[in-house]
Chain A
Amino acid sequence: MPPPQDTRESLLVALRDPDNVNAWNEFSDIYRPMIGRIARRMGLSASDSEDATQQVMLNVSQAINSWSKDETKGSFRAWLTVVVKNAVSNAITRRPRDRANGGENSQAVLQGMAIDNDELERQIEDEYRRSVFRAAALRVRSEFATTSWQAFWSTCVDGVPVGDMSKELNMSCGAIYAARSRVMQRLQQVTQELLTLEEA
């Protein structure tokens, strides 16, 4: 799969329109979970990462009007990397000193901070794809019968052998292959749509 290069301009343009609620929801659906996961990867606890995510989303909403590719001389992702890093380090320094702070956790945070920008950008890219894939799954889910979805989820996500699911769902193995392929096809379609929506 070719890496999407600095792909978010069109959605970013739409975000500048304060009345465009859809654009913001779209952005939020994909970016919020992604930022949350990155914060967790950098060692923040669940609740701290939530605060950090909130902060990043706030920063993005404020900065979106002034952000332009030329001025920052870099991609949106590079810019986002800096914003996320700042939010995470803020979350760490804001933490009250008397709050018990597991040694393990602090270590993780330090390790997180030690990650260079390239590594963080790579993580962001991976998390971005994950987020898009999940958003696509949520959209596609209702298009399929429960058994088709179950056939797909059990064998493709949970790793249950096709033979086992065949007995469980009382479907032939062939029917399971067919069902899960249909789901995968739609998933790939919607994923591409979401990706190109931002590229266009």
Chain B
Amino acid sequence: MMNHSSTSACNAEDLSRLLTGTLSVTATERLEMHLTQCEDCVRRLELLAAEKNSWTQTSKYLSEDDFDCGLERAKLAELSNVGSISLHSKEHQILTREIQGWLDPTDDPYMIGRFAGYEIVGIIGHGGMGIVLKGLERSLNRYVAIKILAPRLATNASARRRFAREAQAAAAVLHENVVAIHRVDEAHGLPFLVMPYFVGESLQQRIDRSGPLTLQASLRIGVQIAHGLAAAHAQGLVHRDIKPANIMLEPGVERVQITDFGLARAVDDAALTMTGIIAGTPPFMSPEQAAGATIDVRSDIFSLGCLLFACLTGFSPYRAKTTGETLLRLRQGRRTFLKDAEPSLPAWVEDLLAGFLQTTPSNRIQSAHEVAAILQQCVLHVQSPDNQLPGNLSKRRRQTTVLIGVTTVMSIGVALLIYDKLTERSKPTLKSAQTIVADQHSTDLATGNQAASSEAVDIPEISSSIDAIDHDLKRIEIEVQSLFGE
């Protein structure tokens, strides 16, 4: 209830300006703070915005119900999110028809029906193995995601067995970076599992929305995924489909969770891995998975490498125009390098990813635990360069630093000297001088001191200055070497 001492804060004029967006930022913040406490003002604001009828009809008119067909459902799904996949209306229609048969009636007009005691709000999405519904768990008043084995698959005993095993195995993984499974059960002969419903977005959606992530954010996400994977691997579970779309980001907090162990199966389940069907998402698959060979936990490590690359650049290192080409590139180990996709990143990141993206599993980092430790050390290093990089990365890093240092000193030296000699030169001469600077910059240490050979330059003044630079470079090189004791 409104408190009389706050009367001065209750200002109808400000409320309407809040609606039209004509209040200053600070005044808006102040008023929003006031609204948090003053119910009367909230009521006034709401009546200013729209008549009471509109408020009460909103839920009735914008909720999906029994009478909505595919197209309407797709429209509402699009309106309601944000997080959920926007389905093609045709696909959605088929799904809707498919689920209608096994939903129980509900007395709540705003729900599509009931399934295993949950009020069904709508379809979130579907995958190779099943349909995901959004449900309301009345007793706990929370939304849940219900993954149901597609009815057409439920008739097949082996699919049913696989789904149940997958669900039970995934439910056994209790880890803060793995989506929890509340329940594994069967209704109407359809096996299903119940997970929390997410309001946040997937990593894929984040990348699509705001582009590549920073190095630090990518590494932090990588650490969490590695921890989650380690927990699953400890239970003998391989995820088999690690990709940005299967990583959920919680809004507001820096926590990520691995979801959809849809393709994960117990590793020792030999009978069921014999199907030969390529399961997974090609640009994020390991080569052994693409070849349909036996896979183990190291397949997930490869996929995690692809995912980290995608965080940093926006796409997988095996991205290609067609799936066939992607699979071919995977088998041949032909990937895009980080230095070509995102040259601004430090060279040690390339080396880091190389530890994930080896074609032969035994050449990769061997466990998710190890991955987590390495990535964590990298995070610390990015936070403060005083922190050492993991062993095999730091060696290369030092060489790189020397290289960058020398190249920078060289460039500055060249620029200064040329500037010195050419202060009164005309534009065309300056231009060729710039070209030399650019050439010099791209030359590495080994050839740097010979790079400025006089035949590339026919202006005598520049030739003589190059000689001077050459001399300076030799001196710099010696200094640098003595600095690092090499």
Q: A-side binding surface: helix, strand, loop or mixed? A: helix
Known: A33-B71, A36-B69, A170-B251. A187 touches B31 (CB 8 A): no
Q: In whole Å, how far is A118's beta carbon from the nearest beta carbon of chain B?
A: 20
Q: Interface with A: B49-57, B390-398, B449-457, which one? A: B49-57
Are the CB atoms of B46 and A138 closer together than 8 Å?
A: no
Query: Are A173 and B35 in touch, CB under 8 angstroms?
Result: yes
Q: Mark B41-64, 1 if CB is under 8 A from A, else 0.
A: 010011011110111011111110
Residue of B nearest to A173 (CB): B36
A188 within 8 A of B: yes
Within 8 A of A (CB), among B81-133: 81-82, 93, 96-97, 100, 121
Chain B residues within an 8 Å CB radius of A150:
81-82, 199
Q: Which of B72-80, B289-297, B368-376, B432-440 contacts A (4 or more CB under 8 A)?
A: B72-80
Q: Specify the chain A residue showing the minimal Cβ separation from B30.
A: A174
A36 touches B58 (CB 8 A): no
Closest to B62 in A: A157
Kindly provide the distance from the CB of A125 to the nearest chain B CB, expressed in whole angstroms.
Answer: 13
Are A178 and B252 also in contact (CB < 8 A) when A46-B93, A46-B96, A173-B36 are?
no
| Bound: A191/B69 CA distance, A | 22
How extensive is the interface on chain B, given as a class?
Answer: 35 or more
Does A157 lie within 8 Å of B80, measured CB to CB? yes
Given the known interface contacts A49-B69, A141-B79, A177-B35, the answer about A168 and B54 at a Cβ–Cβ threshold of 8 Å is: no
Residues from chain A with Cβ under 8 Å of B82 in the complex: 146, 149-150, 153
A156: chain B residues at CB < 8 Å are 55, 58-59, 62
Interface of B, secondary structure class, is: helix
B305 at the interface (CB under 8 A from A): no
Taken together as a complex, chains A and B put the C-alpha atoms of A94 and B355 apart, in Å, by 66
Contact with B along A46-57 (1 / 0, CB 8 A): 110110000000
Query: Of all chain B residues, which has the CB nearest A168?
Result: B199
* B33 and A188 within 8 A (CB): no
Chain A residues within 8 Å of chain B by Cβ, number: 43
The minimal Cβ–Cβ distance linking A106 to chain B, given in whole angstroms, is: 16
* B65 and chain A: residue at smallest CB distance: A37
Asked whether B68 is an interface residue with its Cβ less than 8 Å from the other chain, the reply is: yes
Q: Do B79 and A153 touch (CB < 8 A)?
A: yes
Q: Complex: how many Å from CA A133 to CA B33?
A: 31
Q: Does A158 contact B (CB under 8 A)?
A: yes
Contact partner, A46, options B18, B75, B100, Cβ 8 Å: B100
Kindly list chain B residues whose C-beta atoms are within 8 Å of the C-beta of A174. Answer: 31-37
A187 to B50, CA, bound (A): 8
Q: Does B324 contact A (CB under 8 A)?
A: no
* B residues near A46, Cβ cutoff 8 Å: 69-70, 93, 96-97, 100
Interface positions, chain A 27-72, Cβ under 8 Å from B, are: 33, 36-37, 40-41, 46-47, 49-50
- Determine whether the beta carbon of B72 is less than 8 Å from that of A37: yes
Q: Is the CB of B61 within 8 A of A129?
A: yes
Docked CA distance A172–B37 (Å): 10
Q: Contacts A40-B67, A172-B33: A133 and B59 contacting too (C-beta < 8 A)?
A: no
Residues of B within 8 A of A154 (CB): 199
Within 8 A of A (CB), among B307-349: none
Chain B's closest residue to A156 (CB) is B58
Which B residues are in CB contact (< 8 Å) with A169? 251-252
Using a CB-CB cutoff of 8 Å, which residues 142-179 of chain A contact chain B? Answer: 146, 149-150, 153-154, 156-159, 167-170, 172-175, 177-178
Kindly list chain B residues whose C-beta atoms are within 8 Å of the C-beta of A149: 82
Instruction: For B66, give the chain A residue with the smallest CB separation.
Output: A40
> Are B61 and A133 neighbours in the complex by a CB distance under 8 Å?
yes
Is there contact, CB below 8 Å, between B50 and A184? yes
A1, A177, A178, A191: the one within 8 Å of B28 (CB):
A178
Find out whether the CB atom of A138 lies under 8 angstroms from the CB atom of B75.
yes
**How near does chain B come to A184, taking the closest CB pair, in angstroms?**
4
A30 to B58, CA, bound (A): 17
User: Which of A170, A172, A185 meets B19, CB within 8 Å?
Assistant: A185
A134 near B58 with CB under 8 A, answer no
Residue in contact with B69 in the complex, picked from A40, A133, A177, CB distance below 8 Å: A40
Residues of A101-133 at the interface with B, using a CB-CB cut-off of 8 Å, are: 129-130, 133
Verify A191–B80 contact, CB threshold 8 A: no
- Once the chains bind, are A137 and B66 in contact (CB under 8 Å)? no
CB distance B97 to A184 under 8 Å? no
A134 touches B75 (CB 8 A): yes
Interface hub of A41, A49, A169, A178 (most chain B Cβ within 10 A): A178
28 cross-chain CB contacts under 8 A: A37-B68, A37-B72, A41-B67, A46-B97, A133-B57, A134-B61, A137-B62, A138-B75, A150-B199, A153-B79, A153-B80, A153-B81, A156-B58, A157-B58, A157-B59, A158-B80, A170-B252, A172-B33, A174-B33, A181-B18, A182-B19, A184-B46, A184-B50, A184-B55, A185-B19, A185-B48, A187-B50, A188-B49
* Chain A positions near chain B (C-beta within 8 angstroms): 1, 33, 36-37, 40-41, 46-47, 49-50, 129-130, 133-134, 137-138, 141, 146, 149-150, 153-154, 156-159, 167-170, 172-175, 177-178, 181-182, 184-185, 187-188, 191
Given A138-B78, A185-B48, 9 more pairs with CB closer than 8 A: A129-B61, A138-B75, A173-B35, A174-B34, A177-B46, A181-B18, A182-B19, A184-B54, A184-B58
